[in-house]
Structure 1
Amino acid sequence: MTDSTSINQTPTETLKQVIDHCLYVMDQRRSDVLQRDLRVLNQKEDRELQHKLNMLDRQYRYTRKMLQQRRDSLVKEQSRVVMVKVCEPKATVTIAMKDIDAETHCTDGRRLCSSMSHHKKGSDPVEQSRSVSAPPPSVQPAGSVRRRGTIRSSLSLMQMKNIATIDSISEKELARRQQRAREEMEKLRQFQRETLHKRVAAFIEKLKDKTPHEIHVESS
């Protein structure tokens, strides 16, 4: 059964309907192509964004690893400086006191040997007659005792002065290395902050540049 409306249509109206139908089909195909292109573009941008996020994550992990290594190095350096500042001065004090005692014992030993040799010589009658007026060799003069005490005191003061100098140098070296470590750590942190800020800013700008294009594609 034929539709009365289609029978009453003129050829012009029929041609117009055909053209409209063709345009509709073309629009549908164009829309399908645009949708497919948009999906491909979105997938590509998703992959790029994922790659950038992975790069940022790797950079963060690397920076964290470097900071951890730097921290461990500073801890070891601080331990070494503490050893130099605390343990070595104590060892120096012990060595100095041993040197003082050894020097004192050697001096006393030499004086004792000298006294014994004088005593043996004094047993000879001729030598006894020559040294009657001399004091007994076993009795040391008071000046010798004072001189020995002065030598020991001077040696002790010299050793203590050297120890004080070593301690002062250790403190200055510790302060200098700590300050240098703090400055290097601050420079590293500042560099990482600036690098991360630049990458994030560039990433955001790229997103801003691509957003209007996507909106235009979707609206068309």
Structure 2
Amino acid sequence: MAKAIYDVQVPNIGEVERALGDMRDKAPRAMKNAVNQTATRAKNMMIRQARLRYAVNSAGRRHLNALKVRNRATTQNPTAEIFISSRRNDLGDFQSNPSVPHMGRDWVLSPEFHTSRVLKKSPMEALTGGHTALGQASKGFLVKFDSGHVGMVQRLIGRPAANPKSTRWRSKNGVVEKLYTMSSPSASAMHSTVWREEVEPDSEIILQERLQHEVSKILTQAGRKTK
């Protein structure tokens, strides 16, 4: 299970206190509000940018949407966390053609090669098989597991499955071969890339804008009370 945490926090508390002057005791409230607003916007930006960058299907989008704001900022601790805990993705969570498994007798409906891609800017690539870290593997194909999950897998040529099903395809030697799930970036890895390259710089700007807004609001309210 992969995890990732992204912090949103005020870089210089003293600047906020100086900006408030005699109202510096209101600084914790200003920072709390600004940080929580920034964290929410940053979370939404991360999900949006990840969906623009990665060619995820409906299952992949559900994993990306698991990103949450947790441990929101308080007046005692002006830091918020954006958090995700996700299982390793497989290629079945990304665009593929065909997009549904052809199992049992439906295998005749499958093309010679399935195609897939991880990045939207990349072309669809044929999953032709070949050598992997675990040995020689078949071409890739979609399969629906008993859990209901649809994954992109390969057969490891010549390696028997630990718990073979009688309904599974057998090689010419009568072997039910072990399935190997084709891996791809996890949701936490995708969000980490988007945070580092796109969202973190923007979130720093948003935080400064929200701090200025909160400081101005406090000073304006104080001015009204003195009139």
Report the TM range for the smaller structure's normalisation. under 0.3
Q: Give TM-score scaled by structure 2 length.
A: 0.27
Give the structure-1-normalised TM-score. 0.28
Question: Which structure is richer in relative contact order (CA contacts within 8 A, separation 6 or more)?
Answer: 1
Q: Over alpha carbons, which structure has the higher Rg?
A: 1
Higher helix share: 1
Larger strand percent: 2
